[in-house]
Structure 1
């Protein structure tokens, strides 16, 4: 099968080097309860955030979207993290993307939560700001940015370099959306600080050439993310689970506008100090085409490609970690569990898009090989249609709005 976006892995070979002699929890299993703060999960399999493009034109969830969640819940997933959800209407990222920007949507999302709970899964909503990482309606929407730097893939140039007033407004919007999520009954929220979306762009020197207190050294570039977490934690209280999706490494290099591993660790530590419950570790960049979706990872040596980065954070930050990216083999994942004390769960995207019942299949047969080939057809068509695996492309779904 053709390997779509095959350049993606070229600049970051995935070699797992966890030290087998440093075992800390040798008996931990993929199929046992684990905890993220006050949130108890029935197993360690998490559907990582993946936008489905099944919302209405106003970003409201549909029956079609809930059908996707039902299949995942019935398929054995312990926690569903929804796709990217915009928190203000002027930051809408695409047709069919979900939004949680108004109190009137709370009743709709209560149905989303009940749907997941009734079918056996916990559910979290991922809150984000998109900024220039989308070319959707750029002639109509306010494209916020850290600086006036064109996006290297979309070519989108921010038309609103964020002022201090804009930043304060955005921080408040995150806090209000978090309260809406809490009132909707979500079990947790995830703040998207990765993958070169807006908050991630503040962290990246490539996108951030500001001269104020939000630019320059990492202490300044991390300020926006830190302020968001502080505001969200104050809004939802001390116990409600807040996850942050962050990079372990971006594989760009500081000379090319990236962060060092130590700078990313500074961010992780700062989030933990400000009350984050758990960190979802991903990585990569969208500057040189090295994204978070490595193609052709059939061999174990190419899988779980952010595990070493997560172990580095696990050794230095005492919060639960989810590791997202290329997880394909239960035996390998249990080796990772044995060697990194704070890794508690694994995130899955493409595999569950192809097989929403993968968790149940693995529980019955740990040697089951996922049918996802990491061909990246789903990624190559991301945002242009409803998200689906090419192997499921003939399946009929209810149209958005019906």
Structure 2
């Protein structure tokens, strides 16, 4: 069994161990500005032993954000992102920028995103837009697809300039690229819709262009959902996606699950707090809607996506990151024994950024995280993502608008 504390080569990037901080929307880019709180959050993860820390939701453009408090990989943000990556490098770790566009999954107000029809794979009724007054979405045409591909490439180039060691293209959870991958959103009948092979054509185009632009210098990683949940893509589709990513040359795939609206329990392995504790009005409404449709009998268990991920592992040779509830040394060892190349962690590292170091020294063997998911809704509070039960408490004063790095 390969040790989780041994180094690993991912494309052009050598990681010091097999632990990756998964992207978890931090809520620490107030008004889109990279704050000291965001930089400190990732520096603390690096100091705690993880080999790669992923900065969640770096939008390709201001219109690509889901919420206002998300960073944009534009020219103005490069100096602050560079300060963030330098803070991570100071502790011997690498930094990854998760590059994302919301598509129709956006809650931006109409003064920020002026269009009434946000872009998506298909047009028609926009169920997510009910909460933001955008009841319809626009089917992307060829010009839209080309422009969007250029946006992703430009964002990746800026990530390189900002000192990131990797970029992660988000093809899961219901954001724009996922809106092409998933039949829940993609109703097209052209070269970009229908079979899973055709639904992957646009995300594949983006991946290959990003690889051409930065793949010799940065690790190009893809995060995607193995299944959409009860409806939509199932594991056979998830395997087909992995095979396509491998054929396209992605340096690693992060195996997530579920969709933000339709199947968030499939994503987290346990439900959100029913009233969206700590969230803004949109989050509270969304959490209430989730409580109406989410399965009532889901109880969190460690490594809850293991069986799905094992099926993907059996069908591709490319590097894979296991993601899904690893909270102990035993869980880490199981993932390595299953043949996964890295272990991506979210909640366990929000609870204790020093978790990796403590596992390696033998100080602990089990995380204190209870998977209550309050950290998910805490991202929309002034302090951003944090754990109410954690001994580590970030300083909310570092996240004020204008508190640049």
Secondary structure, aligned partner of 1:378: helix
Of 191-200 and 146-155, more deviation after overlay is shown by: 146-155
Distance 2:125 2:73 in 1: 27
Q: CA 1:56 to 1:376, structure 2 compared with 1: closer, same or farther past 3 Å?
A: closer
Distance 2:192 2:170 in 1: 18
Give 1:158 shift: 4.5
Contact 1:145–1:158 under 8 Å retained in 2: no
Deviations 1:259-299 (A, max 9, x none): 13222222211121112100000112331443411239xxx
Distance 2:254 2:159 in 1: 19
Q: CA 1:149 to 1:223, structure 2 compared with 1: closer, same or farther past 3 Å?
A: farther
CA RMSD between the two structures = 2.4
Q: Which runs of 5+ in 1 are unaligned?
A: 1-26
Q: CA 1:277 to 1:394, structure 2 compared with 1: closer, same or farther past 3 Å?
A: closer
Q: Residue in 1 aligned with 2:254?
A: 280
Q: Residue in 1 aligned with 2:121?
A: 146
Q: Which runs of 5+ in 2 are unaligned?
A: 272-298
Give 1:94 shift: 1.5
Secondary structure, aligned partner of 1:191: strand
With structure 2 as the length reference, what TM-score do the two structures score? 0.84
- Aligned pair count? 366
Q: Residue in 1 aligned with 2:331?
A: 332
Give the alignment partner of residue 219 of structure 2, picking from 234, 241, 255: 241
Secondary structure, aligned partner of 1:347: strand
Distance 2:242 2:201 in 1: 12
Secondary structure, aligned partner of 2:207: helix
Contact 2:225–2:258 under 8 Å retained in 1: yes
Give 1:39 shift: 1.6
With structure 1 as the length reference, what TM-score do the two structures score? 0.84
Secondary structure, aligned partner of 1:373: coil
Deviations 1:162-219 (A, max 9, x none): 2221111111100111111112221110000011111111111111112322221212
Q: Residue in 1 aligned with 2:292?
A: none
Q: Residue in 2 aligned with 1:293?
A: 268
Contact 2:358–2:364 under 8 Å retained in 1: no
Q: CA 1:186 to 1:154, structure 2 compared with 1: closer, same or farther past 3 Å?
A: farther
Give the alignment partner of residue 375 of structure 1, picking from 362, 372, 376: 372
Of 200-209 and 357-366, more deviation after overlay is shown by: 357-366
Deviations 1:229-256 (A, max 9, x none): 1111111144531000012223324xxx
Q: CA 1:316 to 1:112, structure 2 compared with 1: closer, same or farther past 3 Å?
A: same
Distance 1:250 1:204 in 2: 7
- Structure showing greater relative contact order (alpha-carbon pairs closer than 8 Å, 6 or more residues apart): 1
